Amino acid sequence: MKSKAAEQRDRVRTALNRVRHQIGLVLGAAAGARKAAAAELAKLELEQQIVKVGMDHATTEQQHEWSRHPAAHDVFTALSGVRGAYYTDWSAGPNELRELVASNAPGPAGRPPGEWLGRVGHNPGITAPGLWRVGSVTTAGRDIARTFDVAVPLLDESHLAITSAPKTRPAIDAIVQNLLIRVLSTFEPGAVRVHLWDMGQLTAILPDLYPLSRTSALTLYDPGRLEDLLDELAGHIRRIHATGMQAGHTTLREIRRASGQRVEPFRVAVLYGNGETLEPERARDLKRVASGALAAGICLIMVDVPTAVNAAVETLSLLDDRRAISSMTGTDLVVDLDPPLPSGQVIRAAGRIAEALIAKQGGPRSFADLLPTEFGKESSSRELRAPVGFFEGEPVEVVIGDASPHALIGGPSGSGKTNFLYAMLGSMCARYGPDELALYLLDFKEGVSFAGLAPGRKDASWLPHARLVGVNVNTDREFGLALLRFLADELRRRSAAAKEQEVTNLADLREQDPTGHWPRIVAVIDEFQYLFAGRDGVTAQATQLLEDIARRGRSQGIHLVLASQDVAGIEAFWGKPAVFEQCTLRIAMPKARRVLAETNNAAVSAPKWHAVLNHDSGVAHGNQLAHVPDASSKNVFVDLQHKLWEKYADSFARPRLFDGAHSPVLEQFPVYAELKPNDRPRALLGQSIDVTEAACGVDLPRAPGRNIAVLGGATAEALSIMDSAARSLARQYEGDAVEFVVSCPVEACLPAVRELVGRLGNEGHRVELAEDLPARLAGIVDGLSTADTAKILLLYGIDAALPVLEAKAVGQPKSGLDHLRTVLKQGPGHGIHTIGWWRSIARLKDTLGFGGTDDIGTWAALDVQGNELSPFAAGQVVHWSPRPGRALFFDRTTHGAPEVIIPFQRPDFEGTGVS
């Protein structure tokens, strides 16, 4: 019998064995699970490895290694299953992609080159293909069905950034050139412009496209001047943005869609960098351009330019010279790049596009192309708008209105400024009738550039829009001043009318006052810098008036067009920024300096017979290049003028012609012809330098001081003034109601004087050529108190008579000079007026003695200096530079300051020896 203890031990042992068994079981299960897990892990690792490398991409050794894996069979079976299923789904994928590319990259954008290369595109550029082919991707399987096209968006969709791999420049050039020729071949010529910049080279960038470089379709930039390209692009962006904003659009695409017109070409700018970051300023500019470019139809293709831009960018990273990774297809797919298009074919294609573009531009257009089919159909109520030239066949317009009220035109001599003015005036006059546009034309140049616009001897026609034509005014700056004064007066008149109608601009005034005559006024002043040619009163007044007109003319429809040959003209503005700033329309002829903004060099490179038009104060983005047709050749403008003249001449008055080279003729002066006997005779001395044709005259009432002194040694002018004064007075007295007493001690002048005496006598007047002047004066003084007949004393060269006058006759208390002084002092009150010619001021002073200058109430000075005249002009400073054919005239009763006049041309007569 087992002891109790033994039994207990057996029980424990048994229990322990059971536990051991259980533990063994658990451990066995755990080991099995672990093994299974390890196998699963190995299987998954294998699967991962296979997926990573690709079932078909493994090397033979790899394949072999995999096949030795215990799970190889399972894994390959599973993966083949998955892949099979996937490819069953994907079988439609390549096709879908092909169709997608085909529909978004039609024609040259995506089709093989044989179908289009060498043909000129027809797409007008209102819309653009969305994608442009660069290559293809073939997915695993290597069967044709799994190859699909790869294309990138460009133009207004996305930029493209290309990153090179070593030795891939030719491959990159091929990508870029293929893309560019696809783009260029898609659109009609002119619809796309390509800009090329390569940091490393100037000339050898994509040479196959060079045939296009003689057109605007291709522009190359200096390697060191990326800023030029960026500035230009920034300018386009700003301009397009501004145009779009006005019409309520934010992108060029919207503007095109809304207007149905291309408006602006697409632009593709290719930037070749070197993989290094740009200098900070350029990088900033580039970022700025890139962010606004797409909305303006500008696309950047950046090669190795590692600047992150804040805009849509697709990427192509080259793996080698045939393959790349594209952001369009993701990193798993390798793009097989299209091979370069055959160089010869690209050159030919570029050549054809260039020829088509040149042909389309139609070569130089003619003046007739600027003219509308029907004349005078436009209203100038809001603005004046007229084409002045062409760019690539498209008209380029000048706009003068509230936004661009005044124009500044600059260009060196011979650059075509005058021609431009003619083109502009012709184009405007053909569009706007004389009721809509009134011209005031002034040319300070020597020559007669505007003379043909007024009726002439050879051609009786005139430009009906012209109200005033001033030529040969280079010495008559006062005429410029007169024009400015006239414009300032007109400005006031218009302001007053606007105020009365409670409006603020011309358009509204015309609306409120439809029967009023409110044409837009354009005042053209060629070589305007002459206005500022001296440090004198003319310059000061001209500056003030010009500033006033420039500032306020805008809203009253008074516009200045200031032209100048050289920098001097513009320098005249220094210190007068108001005028300069108001000239927001700038027109720079080739090589013009300072007309455009300082950093804007467009005029430097402008070709002959072109002009850079800029409505934005000369800032680069406002540049518009235009070929200006020849408007100045024989009969070109004249033909238009004849047509306009026939149409309007009956209803509009002829313009006033002021020709500084011609003295006026008294007999041809309407004021002279209209003179009749009257109580207040008026002596005409010459022509006023004024916008309206006015004679300047001296009233000779019976009042003290009403004598006239002609001062200076310029004989011809002095005779002229004496002559016109006498003849005009003669017409205002009945036959013998006046007596002319004439004296002329100057031998050389006697024939002229005798001629006048004869003429006055023939007209029935009492006229006496006094031989003994002292005696005659004594007689006049004696008869002063009883004088009833008016007397005009015409005393030529009194200074020559002074010795005789000073001598006292024996027994006489008074000399002839004393009598003369009495006549000068008391005569006018009794209707006895002296018109005397002193050849020097000193002699006049001698004549007057200590009695002061009051008896000389009016004078006309010739070749005497201004400072000598002060005592006769109430002590004021007198600016006067004597010049032939002009006199300085002052009438104490009517003038604040003296004015320049033009003595009349004395009728020719024989035998005077003085002319």
Ligand X SMILES: Nc1ncnc2c1ncn2[C@@H]1O[C@H](COP(=O)(O)OP(=O)(O)OP(=O)(O)O)[C@@H](O)[C@H]1O
* Binding-site residues for ATP: 411-418
Contact 40, 57 (CB under 8 A): no
Which parts of 409-448 interact with ligand X (CB under 6 A)? Answer: 411, 413-419
Q: Is 728 exposed, middle or buried (0-12, 13-18, 19+ CB in 10 A)?
A: buried
Give 331 or 413: the residue with its C-beta nearer to ligand X.
413
Instruction: Give the contact letters, 387-416, x = binds to ligand X (CB under 6 A), - = no.
Output: ------------------------x-xxxx
Strands 520-526 and 437-443: parallel
Write down the least CB distance from residue 603 to ligand X, Å.
13
Which parts of 628-647 interact with ligand X (CB under 6 A)? Answer: 628-630, 632-633
Give 565 or 624: the residue with its C-beta nearer to ligand X.
565
Give 229 or 612: the residue with its C-beta nearer to ligand X.
612
Give 563 or 795: the residue with its C-beta nearer to ligand X.
563
Write down the least CB distance from residue 421 to ligand X, Å.
8
Max alpha carbon distance in the chain (Å)? 208
Distance CA 185, CA 348 (A): 12
Could you give phi then psi for residue 334, rounded to 5 degrees? -100, 130
Give 177 or 564: the residue with its C-beta nearer to ligand X.
564
DSSP conformation letters of 789-846? SEEEEEETTHHHHHHHHHSPPTT-SS-HHHHHHHHHHHTGGGTEEEEEEESSHHHHHH
Write down the least CB distance from residue 422 to ligand X, Å.
8
- For 781, other C-beta atoms within 10 Å of its C-beta total 21
- For 435, other C-beta atoms within 10 Å of its C-beta total 16
User: How many alpha carbons fall within 13 Å on the CB side of residue 181?
Assistant: 33
Write down the least CB distance from residue 661 to ligand X, Å.
17
Write down the least CB distance from residue 569 to ligand X, Å.
11
Give 585 or 887: the residue with its C-beta nearer to ligand X.
585
SS3 content of the chain, % helix, strand, coil (to 5): 45, 20, 35
Give 387 or 416: the residue with its C-beta nearer to ligand X.
416
Write down the least CB distance from residue 611 to ligand X, Å.
9
Give 289 or 628: the residue with its C-beta nearer to ligand X.
628
Question: What does the block give as tokens for 855?
Answer: 């008896």
State yes or no: residue 188 binds ligand X (CB under 6 A).
Answer: no
Helix 72-90 vs helix 60-68: crossing angle, to nearest 10: 120
Stretch that binds ligand X, among 315-323, 402-410, 623-631, 723-731 (CB under 6 A): 623-631
Give 259 or 633: the residue with its C-beta nearer to ligand X.
633
Please state the three-class secondary structure of 18-52 as a single string: HHHHHHHHHHHHHHHHHHHHHHHHHHHHHHHHHHH
Give 221 or 637: the residue with its C-beta nearer to ligand X.
637
One-letter identity of residue 824: L
Contact 804, 772 (CB under 8 A): no
DSSP conformation letters of 434-491? TTTEEEEEEE-SSS-TTGGGS--SS-----TTEEEEEES-TT-HHHHHHHHHHHHHHH
Could you give phi then psi for residue 117, rounded to 5 degrees? -60, 125
Give 60 or 413: the residue with its C-beta nearer to ligand X.
413
Contact 672, 695 (CB under 8 A): yes
Write down the least CB distance from residue 793 to ligand X, Å.
50
Write down the least CB distance from residue 373 to ligand X, Å.
23
Q: How far is CA 58 from CA 63, 65, 67, in A?
A: 6, 10, 12
Stretch that binds ligand X, among 14-22, 624-632, 650-658, 870-878 (CB under 6 A): 624-632
Which parts of 307-326 interact with ligand X (CB under 6 A)? Answer: none
Write down the least CB distance from residue 564 to ligand X, Å.
9
Q: What is the DSSP letter of 678?
A: -
Contact 212, 184 (CB under 8 A): yes
Contact 308, 335 (CB under 8 A): no
Count how many residues are written for the chain. 915
State yes or no: residue 609 binds ligand X (CB under 6 A).
Answer: yes
Q: What is the DSSP letter of 342?
A: P
State yes or no: residue 32 binds ligand X (CB under 6 A).
Answer: no
DSSP conformation letters of 613-673? EESSTT-GGGEEEEEPP--SSTTHHHHHHHHHHHHHTTTSPPPEEEETTS--BGGG-HHHH
Instruction: Give the contact letters, 532-571, x = binds to ligand X (CB under 6 A), - = no.
Output: ---------------------------------x------
Q: What angle do CA 661, 666, 667 make, to 5 degrees?
A: 120
Give 633 or 867: the residue with its C-beta nearer to ligand X.
633
Give 255 or 611: the residue with its C-beta nearer to ligand X.
611
Write down the least CB distance from residue 393 to ligand X, Å.
16
Write down the least CB distance from residue 633 to ligand X, Å.
6
- What is the total count of residues that contact ligand X (CB under 6 A)? 15
Distance CA 175, CA 247 (A): 37
Stretch that binds ligand X, among 17-25, 49-57, 622-630, 837-845 (CB under 6 A): 622-630
Signed CA dihedral, 719, 723, 726, 728: sign only: negative
Write down the least CB distance from residue 364 to ligand X, Å.
7
Q: Is 892 exposed, middle or buried (0-12, 13-18, 19+ CB in 10 A)?
A: middle
Write down the least CB distance from residue 413 to ligand X, Å.
3
State yes or no: residue 898 binds ligand X (CB under 6 A).
Answer: no
Residues 6+ away with beta carbon under 8 Å from 535 = none
Give 445 or 886: the residue with its C-beta nearer to ligand X.
445
Give 262 or 445: the residue with its C-beta nearer to ligand X.
445
State yes or no: residue 595 binds ligand X (CB under 6 A).
Answer: no
Place of tokens 């100037």: 202
Q: What is the DSSP letter of 787?
A: -
Write down the least CB distance from residue 657 to ligand X, Å.
19
**How far is Cα of residue 67 from the mean position of the Cα atoms in its chain?**
80
Write down the least CB distance from residue 628 to ligand X, Å.
4
- Binding-site positions read 411-418
Could you give phi then psi for residue 553, rounded to 5 degrees? -65, -30
Burial track 588-618 (b if 16+ CB lie within 10 A, e otherwise): bbbebbbbbbeebbbbeebeebbbbbbbbbb
Residues forming the site for ligand X (CB under 6 A): 411, 413-419, 565, 609, 628-630, 632-633
